[in-house]
Amino acid sequence: MARKATPPTAIQPKVYLDEGQLRRGIERLQQRIADLDAFDLNTMQGSTSPELKTLERSIEDTLERCFGTNTTASIRYNEAHNLHYRPTIWVSGMPDPDYKGITEKKISHAKASLEQAINALNTDLEDLEGGVPLSVPLRSNSKGGFPRVFLVHGHDEAVRETVARFIERLDIEVIILHEQANGGRTIIEKIEHHSEVGMAVVLLTPDDVGSKVGAKLEPRVRQNVLLELGYFIGALGRNKVCALKSGDMDIPTDFAGVVWTPMSGDWKAALARELKSAGYEIDWNKVMS
């Protein structure tokens, strides 16, 4: 009989820390790096030692305090508390692996992972000192704990501002990528950093032109918009992505399963219904005003 698949565990929202918690988290992570430096490989008997087990638990506990359990960030740093080597295949008579050498490499990787975690907390601390409150969401609107909406847009600034101001009028924070501090991150890292939202609203506007080889050029959506559309479908699910289509343009057939809401007629009410379905509390008086 086939084994029943275990459903994946839902990713939890980002943990918000105040200034004191961020500083304590950085200090604790630095202490875990010092603990790794101080670990004596000679205490190992085979693949493990009591000290190595204690160190794994200590690192895991510190990361949970800083980033929560099963959040995007905590998963990113899982390698830091995975210090044991467990061979997947073992044949009798094979020589023992070089456990000390392997563990030494794992410790080196764990230290690098913890350094990345420290950099992430330092970035949050810089944002906080720059006036961006990270201890709690700016607005507590969504029942699911996600008070923010990520707005994906192309070059049509008029459409972007119209939609952004409407969402803000509903007391929901709008995340627009180019308005966020880089913090030394690449574009995709910035998207990941700000992707813990309850919904992504994607604006499909005819900003580029393109065609098959030899065919007539036709208006199309910018490629970065399609990339981010696909990212949020994967990260949030199709029911948490609302695409607003303004104008006529070519859209890849791969996205044929996505429902577009035309920016004509009563698009504000349609968007508000999607937000409500995603768990946001909607004041319909503000929608209709």
Give the CATH fold of the 148-288 domain: Rossmann fold (3.40.50)
Q: What are phi and psi of 198, to 5 degrees?
A: -85, -20
Best CA proximity match to 152, nearest among 207, 95, 90, 97 = 207
Structure confidence by residue, pLDDT tens digits, 131-178: 544 433 433 444 444 478 999 988 888 888 999 999 998 888 888 887
What type of residue is 148?
R
The dihedral over CA atoms of 65, 70, 76, 81, expressed in degrees to the nearest 10, equals: 60
Q: Tens place of pLDDT for every residue, the chain, 289 residues?
A: 444 444 444 555 567 778 888 888 899 999 999 999 998 888 887 777 888 888 888 898 889 888 887 777 778 888 888 888 766 555 555 566 787 888 888 889 899 889 988 988 888 888 777 654 443 343 344 444 447 899 998 888 888 899 999 999 888 888 888 777 666 677 887 788 777 788 899 998 887 777 778 778 777 778 888 888 888 888 888 888 888 988 776 666 555 556 677 887 789 999 999 888 888 888 888 888 7
Residue intervals of the chain classified under CATH 3.40.50.450 are 148-288
